Structure 1
Amino acid sequence: MVIMINLAPRGAPYQLSILVLLSLPAAAIPSEWTVIPSLRLRETYSDNMNLAPAGQARSEFSTEITPGIAISTNGPRLNLALDYSLRQAFYTREADRRTQQLDASGHAQVLQDWLYLDARASISQQNISAFGPQQIDTLQVTGNSNTVRATNISPYLQHYFHGLATARLRYDYDRVTSGRLLSVRSDRTNLQLTGDNGGQGWNWSLSADRQNIDDAALPKVTMSDTTLTLSYPFNSRLSGFVTGGYEKNDYHTNGTQPEGRHWSVGANWTPSPRTKIAASVGRRFFGNTYSLDADYRMRSMYWTVSYNEDITTTHGEFLSIPPTGLSDFLYQLWATRIPDPQTRLQTIKLFLLVSQMLGPNGNVNFFSHRYYLQKDLKLGTVYSTPRSALALTLSNTRRTAQTSSAIDSPLLGPDELALEDHTRQSAAQAGWNWRMSPRSNVTVGASLSRVESLSTGRSDRNAAVTVALTQQLASKVSASVDLRHIRHTSNTGGNYRENGIGASVSMAF
C-alpha cells in the first residue's frame, strides 16, 4: 500500500517522509488499517482578530472549512498514526488564508531483530517570538506566527548478542523549515552498546554520537559526544549509575569553549509498579548539571515532575518528542467511559489542547539561530472521575544564549537583538472536562504565563480562558460552541484584549 499526499509542493522532504510512513506496510505483515476522512465547518466572531492594542482593534467574522484525514494501524511489525487537516479560512476584512496541520509518526520492523525504521513529520502554526501578541487560535492574524514544517527519518540496526551486549547503530535525518525565517538540516549517527550481565552485578553501556547541523544562516556545526555509563543494582527497586565522557561542539561562542570532559552520578528508584524516580547530578563544560524525572500513578490520578539542563536550539525543540504521560494515563482510564478508540483519542486531544493552550511545555519555542543553555522544570497532574477530569501543568524555563545575537538580525530589529539573550518563561495551565451525558461534555481551560527578558528588563503577561461545549448529534456528527477571553500586558506597551465566539459542526465519514 502506497499513498502519496502532496502536503508542501516546495518541500520534497516532507512528501518523502509521508511516503515513507505510508509505504511501510510493504515491509510488514498484513495488519488492520483505520482510515477516517473528516470535515469541519466553523463560524467565528472576534472583537480583536489582530490582537491589536486598544483603539486599533477590529472586529471580524470568519468562516472555516477544514477537510481532514486520520490514518492508523497497529500491527506486530508496523505502527502508524497520521492526522492531517487543510484549513481554509474566509474573512470579512482580512485576506483569506490557508493553513495545514499534520501530526504523523510511524515505526516499522523491516528485518526482524535487525533493521528498524522510525519516521515523524509535522506541520503546525507557531509563535515566532515569546514577546508580543500570542496566537492561540490559528484564525488569529498577529504577524507573530508562521508555519513550521519538521521531518525526522531514522533507520537503525539493532541486535542482541547473547551474553555480550545489545548493539544499536542509528542514523537520523532531520529538517525544520519556516519560510525564510528558518531552514535547518541535520544528520546524526549514534552507536550504542549495552552490556549483558544477566541482571547480576555491574553493567555498562557505551554511546558514541556525532551530529552535523546545516543552518542556512550559519556556518556548519559539528557536535560530538562519547559517554561510558556504569550501573549497579543494589536491589530489585534501587540502582545507581555513574557516567563519564567527552563532548566537543564547534559552534562559535564568546564564552567558554563548548567542549570538555563531563560526568554525572545518579540513581533510579522504583519503590512500586506505580512509582518511579530517576535523579542525577554532574558537571559539563557550562557548569554543574542536575536532572530529575519522576512519575506517580494512582487509580484515578497521575503526577509527573521533571527537570533538565542542556544545550538546545529552536529547531531541536521543534523536533523533540512531547511527553505522553498524561494522554497515556487518560487513554487507559477512559477505556470504559469512551469505548471507541478514535472518539477517545479525539476527546483526550481536545481536552489537553484546551488545558495546555501554550503547548505541553508551557513555553514558547521562539525562533532563533542561536544555541542556548536551557533549564526546564515541569510539573503535571491529572485527576479523573467517571464523569470529569482535571489537569494542571506548571512550568518554568530559562534560556541563556551561548552565541552572539548578531545572527538573529533577520528575525529581530536592531533594537531587539539583546531581548532574547537571557529569558525566563513561567506558566500555569489548567483544564477541566465534565461529561454531562453520554453525548455531551463541557471543557474549560485557563492559562496564565509570564515571559521576561532578564537582559533588557522587558516583561509580558498573557492570560486566557476558554469554554467549549460539545454535543454528539449522531455516531459520526458532532457540534460545538466555544468562547474565549484573552488579555496581554507588557511593561513596554502594546496591551490588548480579545473576546471570541465560535460554532462548528464536525463530520466523520
Structure 2
Amino acid sequence: MNTERVMHPIATLLMLSGTVAWAQDVGPGAATQVVSISARVSVNETVTDNVALSSTAAKSDQITEVSPGVHVDINGARLKTYFDYSLTHVDYAQGTAASRNQNALNTFGTWEAVDNWAFLDFSGNISQQTISAFGTQSTNNTAINANRTEVASYNLSPYVKGRLGNAANYEARISRSVSSSDSAAASDTATTNSVVKVSNASAFRSLGWTADLSRQQASYSAGRTTQADTYSLGLTYEVTPQVKLSANAGQESNNYTSLDKQNYSTSSVGINWFPSERTSLSALTGKRSFGNTHNVSFEHRSARTVWRFSDSKDVSTTPNQNGVGIVGNLYDLFYSQLEGSGLSATERAQRVNALLQLYGLSANIPVIGGFLTSAIAVQRSQNLSLALLGIRDTITFLLSRTESNRLDTITSVVDNLSSGATVVQNGFSINYSHRLTPDYSLGLSLSRQNTSGTTTAEETTLRSFNVNLSGKVGRRTAASLGLRRVVSDNATTPYTENAVTGNLNVQF
C-alpha cells in the first residue's frame, strides 16, 4: 500500500490527539490529561507447508515478520482516544514472494471542542481483507493470496448538540467516511452523511416527539454516486420506565434504482424493553423504498457472561469494508460484547487488551470475514455471540450469517453482487483459553465459514483449527508457540495448509 497515502490521515489523527491533549494541561486547576504511550516490537516466525495455498503444487516456506508498533491511550477531560498502529515487514526465506510491508491501525476517539456543545468523533482502521467472496479464502496475512488486499478506512464526524430553550433538544452532525484499497478489483468509496435531529426537551414526559432530516451521498471510484434525502416525524410513548414504544413516518427521495431521484413513503414502529439493568431487548420494523427493514437486538450480562443477539436488514453503502454486519477478529468480538457496559470507548479498548493478554489470545484471530463491493447494497446480518469469562478459563462463541444483494441496478460495475446475484456467508467461531499458570495460557480456536452464490461452483467452505501456548518470559517480554491447520473446500481451488508459528513480543 502507498505509505504516504496511509500515513497522511494517521499523522492528522496523531496531531489532533497530541495538540489537544497537551493544550489542556495548562493553568492552575486545569484538568490533568491522562496519557499512556507504549512501544513494542514483535517478531513472528511461521513454517508452512503451503505458502501459496495451492491445490496442486504446495510449496513450503519460512516466513519472518518484524512488527514495530505504538499504542496510545488518552483519557482526558476533553479528549478520549485510543490509537494502536504497527508496521509489519514480511520476508519469505525461500523467495516464493518478494518482501512486503503491511500496515495495521485501529484508532477512535472523541474530542469535546466546546463545553457540552461541539464535539468531534474520529476513527481509523487499516487491515487485510478479502476481495472476492468466491476467490481463495485464507485465515492469515502472510499467505501468498491475490484475493487479499490492504484496506484503509477513516471517519471524521463533527457535531453539535444542545437545547432550544425549554422546548426541545437538538443535534446536528456531519460524517465523512473514506475507504480505499490496494486492489483495482474494488472501488474506493467516499460517504457523507448529514443529519439534524430535534426532540422534546423533557425526558420525564410519557409522550414525546422527534423530527429528523438527513442526506446521504455515497461515491464509488469504479461505479457511480447515489444520494438519499429523508425526513421523518415520530412519536414515543413510555408505557412504564422499562417499556418504551415508538412510531415514525416520513418520506425518502433517492436514486438507488434510477438515474433521477424518486420519492417514497417511509414508516417504522419499535419497542424498547429493559426488564433489568443487565438485560435489554429492542425491536424495530419499518418500510423503505426497497422493501421492509428491521433491527432486533437482545443482550444479557451477568458477572462473567455476555449474551448478544442481533438481526438487522437495511442499506449498506460499504458492506464489510468498515465492518458492517461482520465481526472481523477476536478483538472486535470482545469490544462489541462490552457495548452497553457503561465504559467509555477508551476504557473498553483497555479492558479488551487486558483480557487478551491475560488469557494469551491473539487480537487478530479471524472470526467471520467479508468481501469488498463497489455499489450500494441491501444487507441482512444475523449474529449470536457468547462470552464466558472465568477465573482461569475463557470461552467465546460466535454464530453469524449475512445475506447481501445489490440495490443499485443502474451501475454497470462488476463485483460479486453483479447481475442480481445474492451472496450468503455463514459460519461460527469458538475460542477457548485456559490459564495453566499465572503467566502461561493454552488457547484453542476452531472456525468454519461457508460462502455461497447463485451457482454451486461458487460455494466455498473454509475450516481452521489453531492451538497456541503463550506466556511471559520476562517482565516486558511475552512469547507464544502455535500450530495451525486450514482446509478450504472449493470446486476450483481447494487446498490444505499446516503451519507452526512462534512469536516474541517485547514492550518498551
When the two structures are superposed, what TM-score results if normalisation uses the length of structure 2?
0.88
| Maintained 8 Å contact 2:220/2:375 | no
AA at the equivalent of 2:401: N
> Where do 5+ consecutive residues of structure 1 fail to align?
1-5, 333-339
Aligned counterpart in structure 1 of residue 5 of structure 2, from 7, 10, 14: 10
Aligned equivalents of 2:130 and 2:450: distance in 1? Answer: 15
Question: Once the two structures are superposed, what CA deviation does each residue of 1:459-496 show, in whole Å capped at 9, x if it has no partner?
Answer: 11110111111111122100101111101112x32111
Residue among 151, 156, 161 paired with 2:154: 151
Give the equivalent residue in structure 1 for 2:189: 184
Give the counterpart letter for 1:260 in structure 2.
Y
Between the aligned residues of both structures, percent identity stands at: 22
* Equivalent of 2:144 in 135, 138, 141: 141
Structure-to-structure mapping, 1:295-314, within 5 angstroms: 295-314=299-318
2:19 maps to 1:23: yes
- CA–CA distance in 2 between the matches of 1:473 and 1:504? 12
Separation of aligned partners in 1, 2:52 and 2:291: 43
In the alignment, structure 1 residue 130 sits paired with structure 2 residue 133: yes
Give, in angstroms, the shift of residue 352 of structure 1. 7.0
Distance 1:234 1:291, change over 3 A: same
Letter in 2 for 1:468: N
Matched, 1:164 2:167: yes
| Aligned with residue 233 of structure 1, among 238, 243, 246 | 238
Instruction: Identify which of 36, 39, 42 aligns with 2:38.
Output: 36
Counterparts in 2 of 1:160 and 1:455: CA distance versus 1, 3 Å:
farther
Which residue number corresponds to residue 498 of structure 1?
497
Correspondences of 1:399-438 after superposition (within 5 Å): 399-404=404-409, 407-409=412-414, 418=419, 421-438=421-438
* Unaligned segments of structure 2, at least 5 residues: 25-30, 326-331, 344-349
Pairing partner for 1:285 from 280, 289, 312: 289
CA distance in 1 between partners of 2:418 and 2:300 (Å): 42
8 A Cα contact 1:421 1:455, kept in partner: no
Residue 349 of structure 1: how far off its partner (Å): 9.6
Q: 1:394 to 1:198 in 2, by over 3 A?
A: closer
Report the secondary structure of 1:224's partner residue: strand
Question: How much has 1:317 moved relative to structure 2?
Answer: 4.5
Matched, 1:270 2:270: no
1:203 paired with 2:198, answer: no
* Alignment match, 1:351: 361
- Distance in 2, Cα, partners of 1:141 & 1:424: 25
Partners of 2:17 and 2:79 within 8 A in 1: no
Q: Which residue type is aligned with residue 446 of structure 1?
A: L
Distance in 1 (alpha carbons) for counterparts of 2:387 and 2:92: 38
- Counterpart of 1:3? none
Q: How does 1:295-374 map to 2 (within 5 A)?
A: 295-314=299-318, 317-318=321-322, 320=324, 324-327=335-338, 344=354, 346-347=356-357, 351=361, 353=363, 357-358=366-367, 362-364=368-370, 366-374=371-379
Normalised to the residue count of structure 1, the TM-score between the two structures is: 0.88
CA displacement, residues 40-74 of structure 1 (integer Å, 9 cap, x when unaligned) = 11111111111111x22111101111100001111
Cα distance in 1 for residues equivalent to 2:432 and 2:2: 34
CA distance in 1, matches of 2:455, 2:250: 33
| 1: CA distance, partners of 2:173 / 2:305 | 36
Contact persistence 1:363–1:397 (CA under 8 A): no
1:343 to 1:155, Cα distance in 2 relative to 1, 3 A: closer
Q: Distance in 1 between matches of 2:22 and 2:475?
A: 33
Matched residue count? 484
Q: CA deviation at 1:156?
A: 0.9
- Give the SS at the match of 1:437: coil
User: Which residue pairs with 2:347 in the alignment?
Assistant: none
Kindly provide the amino acid, as one letter, of the partner of residue 406 in structure 2.
A
CA contact (8 A) 1:194 1:205 kept: yes
Contact 1:302 1:329 (C-alpha < 8 Å) held by counterparts: no
2:28 equivalent in structure 1 = none
Question: Aligned AA for 2:80?
Answer: N
Compared with structure 1, are the counterparts of its residues 257 and 495 closer, same or farther at alpha carbon in structure 2 (3 Å cutoff)?
Answer: farther
Shift of 1:103: 0.5
